[in-house]
Amino acid sequence: MTENLNLDYKKYKSAKKTSLSIIIPAYNEEKRIKQTIIALRSYLKSKKYIYEIIAVDDGSTDGTLNVLRDTFSTDLRVVTITKSGKGAAVKEGIFSADKENEYVFFMDADLSTDVEEIESFIDIFKKEPENDIIIGSRYLPEGSVIVQPPFRNLVGRTFSLIKSKLLGINFYDSQCGFKAFRMQTAKKIFAKSEIKGFSFDVEILYIALLNNIKVKEKSVNWYHKPGGHVNLIADSIPMLIELLQVFLNKNKYIL
C-alpha cells in the first residue's frame, strides 16, 4: 500500500512540473547553432523543466544539419523543410511541438535575448492566467536594454508605424524574435497563419487581436549579434507586401 502511494505521489509531482517546447528556426547557422542548443539545454535542465527543443532547418546550404546531428539527444528534435521563410519554419515547429506541453516559445538562433527570460515569461503566465501570449519587446519605454545598429532601430520603428496604421496593431515591438504562447493557443493561431516570411509575427498578433486573445508585451534586453539573415533593404518590400496580404486576409483569421 505504501509503495502505491509513493508511486502516485511521484506521478503527481511530475504532473506539476512546468512543461514547454522551444522552437529554433535555423537557416545557415552552423557557426552558432551548437552553442545555442548547449546553452538552452543547460538552462532548461537547471530549472528542472519538462522540455523539448525543436530546431527547424529552413533549407540550409551550409553544415547546419550536420552540426545539429552532432548535438542529437532525447531532448532535441530536428525538423527539415525546403527553404520557405522564417514564418514557415516557426509554423512547422509549432505543429511539431508536443501538444501536452503547457507552453511553447520561439526564439532566434543567435539568442539575442538571454535564455533566462524563459523563466520570467513563465512566471507571467502563471500569475496572469488571462494572458495567452507574451511577446518580448525591445522598445517599451521602461526596462529594456537594446544594443543594435541605429539603422535597425529606425527601420524597426518605421515598420511598426506602418503596421499600426494599416492593421491597428499598437504593440511597441512586433518583430522581436522571442515570443511565448500557451500551447493550445499557439496551435489554433498558427493553423490560421499563411505568411511564410518575416511579417509572420504581425500576422499571428493580428489573428490574436481579432479573436480577443490577450497578448502581453514584456521588456527584454536585446544584444544584436552579427551574422543574421535579415537584409533591412532587400527584405523591406516583401515585408510590406506581406502586411498588405495580412490586411486582405482579415476574414480568414476568425477562429
pLDDT above 90: residue 59: yes
What pLDDT shows up at residue 52?
98
Closest by alpha carbon to 214, among 102, 128, 99? Answer: 128
Residue 234 banded pLDDT, cuts 50, 70, 90: low
What pLDDT shows up at residue 214?
98
**Residue partners of 65: CB distance under 8 A and separation at least 6:** 57, 78, 80
pLDDT above 70: residue 157: no
The residue assigned the cell 530536428 is 78
Give the chain's mean pLDDT: 88
Residue 250 banded pLDDT, cuts 50, 70, 90: very high
The residue assigned the cell 508585451 is 217
Contacts 24+ apart (CB under 8 A), 195-198: 195/87, 195/242, 195/245, 195/246, 196/84, 196/85, 196/86, 196/87, 196/88, 197/85, 197/86, 197/87, 197/235, 197/238, 197/239, 197/242, 198/85, 198/86, 198/87, 198/230, 198/235, 198/238, 198/239, 198/242
Q: What is the rounded average pLDDT of the residues 156-166?
A: 76
DSSP 212: T
Per-residue three-class SS string for 38-98: HHHHHHHHHCCCEEEEEEEEECCCCCHHHHHHHCCCCCEEEEEECCCCHHHHHHHHHHHCC
Query: End-to-end CA distance of the chain, in Å?
Result: 48
Task: Provide the CATH number for the domain around residue 80.
Answer: 3.90.550.10
**5 or 20, greater pLDDT:** 20
What pLDDT shows up at residue 161?
77
Q: Is 16 helix (H, G, I), strand (E, B) or coil?
A: helix
What pLDDT shows up at residue 154?
58
**253 or 71, greater pLDDT:** 253
Residue 105's beta-bridge partner residues?
Answer: 22, 180
Residue 106, judged by CB atoms within 10 A of its CB (0-12, 13-18, 19+), counts as buried
**146 or 130, greater pLDDT:** 130
**pLDDT tens for residues 68-107?**
998 888 999 999 999 999 999 999 999 999 999 999 999 9
What pLDDT shows up at residue 155?
63
Report in angstroms the alpha-carbon separations of 214 from 9, 17, 67, 168. Answer: 35, 24, 38, 15
- What is the extent of the structural domain holding 75? 2-252
- β-bridge pairing 133-137 and 178-182: antiparallel
What pLDDT shows up at residue 160?
74
Report the predicted TM-score, pTM, of the whole model to 2 decimal places. 0.86
Q: How far apart are CA 115 and CA 141, in angstroms?
A: 22
Q: What is the rounded average pLDDT of the residues 161-179?
A: 88
pLDDT above 60: residue 232: no
The total domain count for the chain is: 1
Closest by alpha carbon to 51, among 175, 180, 176? Answer: 180
Residue 151 banded pLDDT, cuts 50, 70, 90: low
